[in-house]
Amino acid sequence: MPAFAPEIDWTVPGRVLTAEQKANYEREGFLVIRNVVPRYELERFKNRFQDICNKVDVPVNMVVMRDISIAKSEFVAGEKAITKVQDFQEDPVLFDFCKHPTIVDVVKDLIGKPSDTMMAMHTMLINKPPDTGALTSRHPMHQDLHYFPFRPADYICCAWTAMERVNRANGCLVVVPGTHKGDLKVHEYPKWEGGVNKAYFGIQDYDPNMPRLHVEMEAGDTVFFHPLLIHGSGANKTDGFRKAISCHYANDKLCHYIDVKGTTQENIRVEALDMAKKKMSKYGFSAPELEYAEIWKLRGRAVNGTRANL
């Protein structure tokens, strides 16, 4: 097996992380750091999310998603209707999360060097309203790399910040430690009785007996994890909400695009291209033959330095 992220020396402290923290990430594939994002910043993000729910100044390229169990309901609106805001790279308030210095410094210790340019490649604000009873608020166990047409995986990292308390009752993240050193698994839509949300692919042969860890967090806590780490989340069985904001970063110096056509990622490639074409048509633009990587080139934004490779 090739060395894990050979560009990183896992035996010495980083700019902000201790050698022990780096070793934990290298071994387990994730790292939880407490009190990373201040409460006042989280309130800004929550307020902006409320505006988006009310259709205030929503960027054209932003994707606003509803849960499949209430997607066509006229009686569920606002915060209870919206489950995810995706692609907020053009939103100046929410994109401040991706540029947060403390987060970027940690990411650089995990996937690069202080001088490397970090790209924000995938942005999401995930809202779990109280489950309707169909259990559609859960997310199947999956690997984020299934969605990405860029590599190497070791130089991609997600920062996922709890915007309020997250625990087993409201559907916290569930991770399988150490799985980041395995292969990318085959993903399909799970055959759930209540249905499954758009693009919620899950590992086809996932073994439920694998040792799992529930990552319970307080507002402002952040978990950093590898894109091959197997993870998911449960249903929100409370009367409240479970909000988190996240960004996937890639090292612009070390990562490059690949062609995923005809691979196990073909299902998400076809679905994403179809969604992009429909959105372009909705706004009166012609829908040319796009390459999957082109969608990601449009999504990507540098959070420091000068963009060159991605």
User: pTM of the predicted model, to two decimals?
Assistant: 0.94
pLDDT at 2: 72
DSSP collapsed to 3 states, the chain:
CCCCCCCCCCCCCCCCCCHHHHHHHHHHCEEEECCCCCHHHHHHHHHHHHHHHCCCCCCCCCEEEECCCCCCCCCCCHHHCEEEEECCCCCCCCHHHHCCHHHHHHHHHHHCCCCCCEEEEEEEEEEECCCCCCCCCCEEEECHHHHCCEECHHHEEEEEEECCCECCCCCCEEEECCHHHCCCCCEECCCCCCCCCCCCCEECCCCCCCCCEEECECCCCEEEECCCCEEEECCCCCCCCEEEEEEEEEECCCCEECCCCCCCCHHHHHHHHHHHHHHHHHCCCCCCCCCHHHHHHHHCEECCCCCCCC
pLDDT at 288: 67
pLDDT at 218: 98
**CATH fit for domain 19-266, picks 1.20.1730.10, 2.60.120.620, 2.60.40.10, 3.40.50.300:** 2.60.120.620
Q: What tens-digit pLDDT sequence spans the chain (310 residues)?
A: 678 989 999 999 999 999 999 999 999 999 999 999 999 999 999 999 999 999 999 998 899 988 765 655 454 557 778 889 999 999 999 999 999 999 999 999 999 999 999 999 999 999 988 888 777 778 899 999 999 999 999 999 999 999 999 999 999 999 999 999 999 999 999 887 777 778 889 999 999 899 999 999 999 999 999 999 999 999 899 999 999 999 999 999 999 999 999 999 999 999 999 888 887 777 666 666 789 999 999 999 999 999 999 9
For the chain, what are the domain ranges? 19-266
